[in-house]
Chain A
Amino acid sequence: MGKLELVQSLKTDSGRIWNVSWHPKGTALASCGEDKSIRIWTKDLRGKWINKVVLTDGHKRTIRQIAWSPSGNYLASASFDATTCIWDKKCGEFECNATLEGHDNEVKSVAWSSSGLFLATCSRDKSVWVWEVNDEDEYDCTSVINSHTQDVKKVVFHPSDNFLASCSYDDTIKLYKDEPSEFEWICYETLKGHTSTVWSISYDSTGTRLASCSDDCTVKIWKEYPTGFPPGNGGPTWKCICTLDGYHDRTIYDISWCHSTGLIATACGDDCIRVFKEDAGSDSDAPTFSMVTKEKGHNQDVNCVTWNPEVPGLLASCSDDGDIKLWEFKK
């Protein structure tokens, strides 16, 4: 067993916090929510996390998600006002220097590719858009993919290659790749298994496994079989190799797979944060995971959990109760 020790509670009076995102160097945390603003938290000289920057004039409605570019120079925000804003610090302070329009309604998620060359967004309009990032702060939409049949809840890029994953209210997960011959991103795989909305997905450090969480109160682990399944049977395919059932009491809103420790954290509508660890020596085609801790993290639904990319074991969470909390996982 392990435990989550509270490092610091960051109070806001801004209502529901939907999302928190670590700067790629792990030195800053951005948060967003129903108050339509973005807050950036950094450590002061005494080591306390404080809110130094509040960005307010980008969006007219709830900001659902924010994402730092791999360089840390840009911040993208996805809003219910149907736009995505790109913020940068070129003039010394963060300013919104590009607004991406095109979705019919709420943009629910935004993600940068590992190269920083692509940006993906998704919406209640059921589409996933991939944008190419050009030199002069120009973002050209290269693909509009209409493969889901309902709202798309989240988009996530592969940790190192040009692959993209999305999950939806239609209970499925879809995988996409850049098809240079067609100058387009295409959907090449649909993962079925969840019996209700898939709220979030997270790749492991290698990008060969994906964890998903759902309104059906389960977590599923999916694995890539590059030569088909059983191996040798044709093209790449993905298969569910593990289902974590019976641990969560309500909808699971978010999942984060730590790229340094391999730990999986979940954010649940029962106010709790859970951490799962793969059992030593478990079969790679049918792995087993154990819950190593369950912590009542907040006073209301936990909406997001995310591991710090540089400090192993440091986890950030946020909730409908308006709080952001930093935790240290201890064995």
Chain B
Amino acid sequence: MFNFLKKKSTENEEQKQTIITPYSAADITELKDTIYDVIRTIKDPEKPNTLEQLEVVYEDGIMVSQPRTSEFFVVRIEFNPTIPHCSLATLIGLCIRIKVERNIPNRIKLDIFIKKGAHATEEEINKQINDKERIAAAMENPNLKEMVENCIMEEDC
């Protein structure tokens, strides 16, 4: 499943050199599917449904590109909070980020955005959920961490 993330490494005594295998369009589709599988089962912070059931996340909301000179994919995830004043939009963004970062190993750069026009303070929230220092600090806050863990827990395991 994680074929596209495989790398061959040759080890010198001093230094590891990494040779990245080239990616194809099929790899990109596979990566998109994998990411969607990871986020669709996230639970809404206050409803019993998943983000997929509430149409907060959707397959078309995931965009994957690869800058020509880089070895990573840029993954852009768009989500649509159910109501324009949803106070939990930041928490949903945080859940998406944490779950993707935990389940997809390196080599991706993640940008998360609210669907344009879907939230009264979308720019503010977009800035917050893409600031890795704020994310790191939020995840050291026991209450916030617990809320995130509850939302991203896999029930079938």
Contact = CB atoms under 8 A, between A and B. Distances in A.
Interface of A: 6, 9, 16, 34, 61-62, 64, 80, 105-106, 108, 124, 151, 153, 169, 196-197, 215, 249-250, 269-271, 296, 299-301, 321
Given A169-B127, A249-B67, 20 more contacts: A6-B15, A9-B15, A16-B136, A62-B136, A62-B140, A80-B136, A80-B140, A105-B137, A106-B137, A108-B133, A124-B137, A151-B134, A153-B133, A169-B131, A196-B127, A197-B131, A269-B109, A270-B67, A296-B71, A301-B132
B106 interface: yes
Interface residues of B, number: 16
A151 B138 CA distance: 14
B70 interface: yes
B72 interface: yes
A302 B71 CA distance: 15
A9 B11 CA distance: 14
Interface of B: 15, 18, 67, 70-72, 106, 109, 127, 131-134, 136-137, 140
Contacts of B70: 249, 270-271
A108 B137 CA distance: 10
B137 A80 contact: yes
The 5 closest A-B pairs by CB, nearest first: A61-B140, A106-B137, A80-B137, A80-B140, A249-B67
Contacts of A108: 133
A250 B137 contact: no
Contact of B106 (A106, A197, A299): A299
Contacts of B133: 64, 108, 153
Contacts of B132: 301
B72 A271 contact: yes
Contacts of A124: 134, 137
Contacts of A106: 137
Given A6-B15, A9-B15, A300 B106 contact: yes
Contacts of A34: 136
B101 to A, nearest CB: 10
Contacts of A169: 127, 131
17 contacts: A16-B136, A34-B136, A80-B136, A105-B137, A124-B134, A124-B137, A151-B134, A169-B127, A169-B131, A197-B127, A197-B131, A249-B70, A250-B109, A270-B72, A296-B71, A301-B132, A321-B106
A192 B41 CA distance: 43
Nearest to A124: B137
A192 B35 CA distance: 38
Nearest to A301: B132
Contacts of B67: 249, 270
Contacts of A270: 67, 70, 72, 109
A125 to B, nearest CB: 12
Contacts of A61: 137, 140
B111 to A, nearest CB: 9
A215 B109 CA distance: 14
B138 to A, nearest CB: 10
B134 to A, nearest CB: 7
Nearest to B111: A250
A92 to B, nearest CB: 32
B93 to A, nearest CB: 16
A154 to B, nearest CB: 11
A178 to B, nearest CB: 29
Nearest to B128: A169
A296 B136 CA distance: 24
Nearest to A81: B140
Nearest to B69: A249
Contacts of A62: 136-137, 140
Nearest to A80: B137
Contacts of B127: 169, 196-197
Contacts of B72: 270-271
A253 to B, nearest CB: 9
Nearest to A16: B136
A272 B130 CA distance: 19
A75 to B, nearest CB: 21
Contacts of A269: 109
Nearest to A250: B109
A299 B17 CA distance: 11
A64 to B, nearest CB: 8
